[in-house]
């Protein structure tokens, strides 16, 4: 973003782009560079970055350079500014305003037991503050391409996360996207979806007494 800011600051005072992009530039300048569901700059930055990748990715590959290094070193000020203008136009077109929090765009949705989910903007979904690993984000959350919806629905990334403390007593936390069950009629089909979207872990039940205390049913093989 610093080269974008420099290019914007170099625009003549009378250039209409100064007024058109001023609010978005101010939002990016004040951003803490952390993704979150309620962050407008997250949405602006990611849509801008993706626009530049779409415009210049082929050139980077032809030059045999990493695309992100190419975007930093080889773009002109005009190209960076044009990419931001188009990104704002896309946000305005698809969501009615560019000043939209990331979580209103970036969503978790699990409707059926299909491996490839039939995502639907008209159906319920949850806001997610994560982003694609291509922007250096962990946990990673990204959609398949090409996208057929206006909103972004996570279909790739970290679907299972765990942390284990191997002390005298084992303690572990884990989290799955959606839930343990693949059956849409099961209460465990989406019972971890809200936790996943908020980055809240569940306890792993490791010892028999813990499993028995939380068992819904049991059987003897």
**Reported pTM:** 0.90
In 3D, which of 73, 54, 52 has the Cα closest to residue 63? 73
What pLDDT score does 35 carry?
95
Pairing of strands 160-166, 170-176: antiparallel
List the chain pLDDT tens, one digit each, 221 residues. Answer: 999 999 999 999 999 999 999 999 999 999 999 999 999 999 999 999 999 999 999 999 999 999 989 999 999 999 999 999 999 999 999 999 999 999 999 999 999 999 889 999 999 999 999 999 989 888 899 998 888 899 999 999 988 899 999 999 999 999 999 999 999 999 999 999 999 999 899 999 999 999 999 999 888 88
Nearest-angstrom CA–CA distance, 7 and 127: 33
What pLDDT score does 76 carry?
95
Gyration radius (Cα) of the chain, Å: 22
Nearest-angstrom CA–CA distance, 161 and 203: 12
What pLDDT score does 127 carry?
97
Q: What torsion do the CA atoms of 83, 131, 135, 29 make, to the nearest 10 degrees?
A: 60
Tokens 């946000």 map to which residue? 91
What pLDDT score does 147 carry?
85
Tokens 């039939």 map to which residue? 118
């Amino acid at each position: 973003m610093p080269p974008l800011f420099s290019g914007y600051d170099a625009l003549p005072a009378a250039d209409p782009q100064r007024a058109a992009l001023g609010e978005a530039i101010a939002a990016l300048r004040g951003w803490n560079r952390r993704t979150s569901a309620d962050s407008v700059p997250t949405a602006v930055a990611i849509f801008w970055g993706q626009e530049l990748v779409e415009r210049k990715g082929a050139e980077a590959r032809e030059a045999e350079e990493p695309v992100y290094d190419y975007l930093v070193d080889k773009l002109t000020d005009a190209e960076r500014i044009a990419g931001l203008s188009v990104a704002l136009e896309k946000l305005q077109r698809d969501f009615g305003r560019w000043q939209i929090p990331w979580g209103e765009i970036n969503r978790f949705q699990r409707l059926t037991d299909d491996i490839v989910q039939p995502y639907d903007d008209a159906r319920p979904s949850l806001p997610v503050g994560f982003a694609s690993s291509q922007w250096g984000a962990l946990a990673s959350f990204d959609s398949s391409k090409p996208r057929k919806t206006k909103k972004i629905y996570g279909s790739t990334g970290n679907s299972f996360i765990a942390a284990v403390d191997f002390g005298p007593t084992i303690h572990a936390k884990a989290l799955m996207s959606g839930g343990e069950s693949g059956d849409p009629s099961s209460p465990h089909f989406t019972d971890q979806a809200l936790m996943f979207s908020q980055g809240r872990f569940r306890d792993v039940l490791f010892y028999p007494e813990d499993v028995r205390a939380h068992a819904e049913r049991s059987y003897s093989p």
